[in-house]
Amino acid sequence: MRILHTSDWHLGHRLHEQSQFVEQTNFLEWLLNYISNNSIDILLVSGDIFDTGTPSNQSQKMYYDFLVKLVGTDCKHVVITGGNHDAPGTINAPKHLLDALSIKVVGKAQENEEDEVFKFETDDDNVIIAAVPYLRDQDIRRAIAGESFDDISEKYKQALTNHYNKVGQYCEKIKDDNTVVIAMGHLFAIGGNTTPDSEQAIYVGGLGDIGADDFPRIFKYIALGHLHRPQIVGKKDHIRYSGSPIILSFSEINYDKKIFIVNTTSNHIDKIEEVIIPRFRELYKIEGSISDCIDKLIVISEKHISPTPWIEVVLDNQNGAITGATEINQASNNLNLEVLKVTLKEDKEFEGLMELAKTHTSVKELSPIEVFERKCNENNINLEENQDILDAFNEVLQIARDN
């Protein structure tokens, strides 16, 4: 069988308030063509289908249009799991209808772990997919009043590991000698590298930080989602993040986006292929003085790239943020590009939230974690020395997103 692993589509995502509908639509069209032209038997999507728990009608239409078109290809089965950005109800709502189309969805942890396991059979090969979604604390263990932070961390990690062990045990029970067992997951695994400004910690402190050796050995490939950079975990070639298919942050522009193709024969994996996804919009990050950056913008504009390229400009700290941003924006008005962000070459863009309010038209231009970090900086709170404060904020933010 040929199994395609992807994740973190984040349909509906906006980059500095700019819609990424064009890139997302082009990716889904490219993916559909790739599946059709390369004999893909099973598609695995490991979480974060949508960017929010309340996706727009446009985002949902993209999703369902893709699935309907996929049914017309030779791809026999699809397995989709929920991520931390997804609302379980949104993923599970069409469960029975999609099941009739050989599309399995698991939006949240199931009471019976065996309901997360699917066995697909062909004349030659059998594959078992352990479709484990993003596991929320409340879904896999009971909270106990008065638990300390360390207790919560350790008990959650144990519950997470236990969940995978139980799923693995059921897979062992139903497999035969001619079967490959593959797991899915949406979490942070120790050994994975995050991308600045892209993926926040989705658990409190070390919650969910399980190592490569914590996964049951029965899983011959583990298709992970959450981290946006495609990568191998803990030097274990069979444990991989596929990463996001399109650029979701300017911090992601310096590496290729990928999907992975897992080739199975009988009861083993023959080969894992890496396929580079085309870029559906060019993004650039340029640095220097105001005049240097204007010259670089002109060079980019002369390339006549379509769709319109997006730019982040990082200025030397000479004329100040307001003056620099004004000159850059005026210079770019008649160019074939859009400048989405102008910052100063410092560890932080501007001092304090008061200055921030003067130089940004809308707080929506910043992520919640950026606002929180700036507020902490304004109050002389060193988050590197007070990790518990950042952990607590991430927990509150996650609860807000879940609701």
- CATH number of the domain to which 234 belongs: 3.60.21.10
Residues in CB range of 94: below 8 A, 6 or more apart: 64, 105
Residues 342 and 230 in one domain: no
Residues 183 and 39 in one domain: yes
Q: How far is CA 295 from CA 183, 238, 350, in A?
A: 50, 46, 24
Distance CA 117, CA 355 (A): 52
Looking at residues 55-78, what average pLDDT do you find? 96
Last residue in a domain, options 241, 276, 311: 276
Last residue in a domain, options 253, 276, 299: 276
Structural domain for 317, as ranges: 283-402
Q: Locate the DSSP E strands across 206-319.
A: 221-225, 231-233, 236-241, 258-265, 268-276, 283-288, 310-315
Beta bridge partners of residue 186, listed in sequence order: 225
Residues 173 and 201 in one domain: yes
Q: Locate the DSSP E strands across 115-169.
A: 117-121, 126-131
Distance CA 5, CA 81 (A): 12
Residues 35 and 119 in one domain: yes
Q: pLDDT, tens digit, for every residue of 343-388?
A: 887 644 444 445 555 555 455 567 787 788 888 887 778 876 676 6
Last residue in a domain, options 260, 276, 292: 276
**Residue 284: per-residue pLDDT:** 96
> How many distinct structural domains can be found in the chain?
2
Residues 360 and 217 in one domain: no
Residues 222 and 348 in one domain: no
Residues 49 and 196 in one domain: yes
Whole-number percent of the chain with pLDDT over 90: 64
**Residue 159: per-residue pLDDT:** 87
Residues 246 and 342 in one domain: no
Distance CA 169, CA 171 (A): 5
The pTM of the full predicted model, rounded to 2 decimals, is: 0.82
Residues 122 and 248 in one domain: yes
Residues 176 and 216 in one domain: yes
Q: pLDDT, tens digit, for every residue of 177-190?
A: 889 999 999 998 76
Residues 313 and 168 in one domain: no
Residues 268 and 289 in one domain: no
